[in-house]
Amino acid sequence: MTIRHVILAVEIFFLLLFIIPIPIINEGNSAGIVLCALLIAVTAKFGSFCRLISKLWGKVPTRVLVITAAVFLAAGFIYAGILSFKMYRAQENVPDDTELIVVLGCQVKGTRPSRMLRRRLDVALEAMEKHPDAVCVVSGGQGYGEKISEAKAMHDYLISKGADESRILMEDKSTSTFENIKFTFEMTDKLGYGRDITIVTDGFHQYRASLIAKQEGAGRITAYSAHTEPRYLLTFWVREWLGLTYFWIFGK
């Protein structure tokens, strides 16, 4: 087996990792599928590709294009590596103490939390047990195909698992992470809570959520992170790279 075959096998493996989450399709696996497909095509026809580049190398536009693509690819790998490091660090930032736990919503199927959301809620239950004086805000509006708001579904799930209803607040208007944090603070400010916040969400999401919280005036930001199913992790991790890039460009 040649090095080319090994590289091709690795590229096909990553392509399958991006395909596995389908029918879930988002920016993460869409970008991953396109990139892997391009890399597979180049690797499979590497000899022909090199001959074409060699033939056209004498032309200035070709040299500029190849050099630009190489620089862009190298910068992309470095950028993704830095983001991944920061994302990992954010999900490990567990609090010693907290008075405000905020659970970020995601898909509800009818009236029931999805598997991903149930994982977040199970982590929230553990956080409430560890911090008996903390209030828990469940945050999420009603999206397409959802019969009730994400906040209501989360509230009902926590109650069914034995959580103290008096410690649960519902924010049921938000449609994005930005609104989750913004609307939560609008509610908790009126109730006299500080702006130190402990966010409960999937690990891959913690870094961007913390940046948004900081932008909205949060003080100390800590995290309790739910584990993402392995088959979805790469797709959502790459999606988060794109989400972070969007945040830095547009501020939300």
Under the banding of pLDDT at 50, 70 and 90, the label for residue 18 is very high
Q: What is the chain's Cα-based Rg?
A: 22
Residue 168 has pLDDT above 90, yes or no: yes
pLDDT of 211 reads 97
Q: What does the pLDDT read at residue 77?
A: 94
Confidence check: pLDDT of 12 > 90: yes
Name the pTM for this structure: 0.91
Amino acid code (one letter) for 196: D
Q: Does residue 182 register a pLDDT over 90? A: yes
Average per-residue pLDDT for the chain = 94
Q: How confident is the model at residue 1 (pLDDT cuts 50, 70, 90)?
A: low
Given 3.40.50.620, 3.40.50.300, 1.10.3720.10, 3.40.50.720, which CATH number is that of 100-229?
3.40.50.620
Do residues 42 and 249 lie in contact, with contact meaning Cβ atoms separated by under 8 Å? no
What is the pLDDT at residue 52? 85
pLDDT given for residue 55 in this prediction: 84
pLDDT for the residue numbered 62: 80
Question: Which pLDDT value is given to residue 50?
Answer: 86
Task: Look up tokens 């209030």; give the residue.
Answer: 135
- For 51-73, write each residue's pLDDT tens digit: 888 887 888 888 888 889 889 99
The pLDDT assigned to 56 comes to: 79
**What single string gives the DSSP state of each residue in the chain?**
--HHHHHHHHHHHHHHHHHTTTT---HHHHHHHHHHHHHHHHHHTHHHHHHHHHHHTTSHHHHHHHHHHHHHHHHHHHHHHHHHHHHHHHHT---S--SEEEEEP--EEBTEE-HHHHHHHHHHHHHHHH-TT-EEEEE----TTBSS-HHHHHHHHHHHTT--GGGEEEE----SHHHHHHHHHHHHHHTT--S-EEEEEEGGGHHHHHHHHHHTT-SSEEEEEEPPPHHHHHHHHHHHHHHHHHHHHH--
- The percent of residues above 70 in pLDDT, for the chain, comes to 100
**Burial letters for 111-127: b for 16+ Cβ neighbours within 10 Å, e otherwise?**
eebbebbbbbbbbbbeb
Average pLDDT over residues 196-202: 97
Domain ranges for the chain, please list them. 3-91, 100-229
Region 35-61 average pLDDT: 88
Taking only the tens place, the pLDDT of each residue in 203-222 is 999 999 999 999 999 999 99
- Compute the CA torsion angle 188, 216, 124, 112 (nearest 10 deg): 90
pLDDT tens figures, 113-154: 999 999 999 999 999 999 999 999 999 999 888 999 999 999
pLDDT band at 189 (very low <50, low <70, confident <90, very high): very high
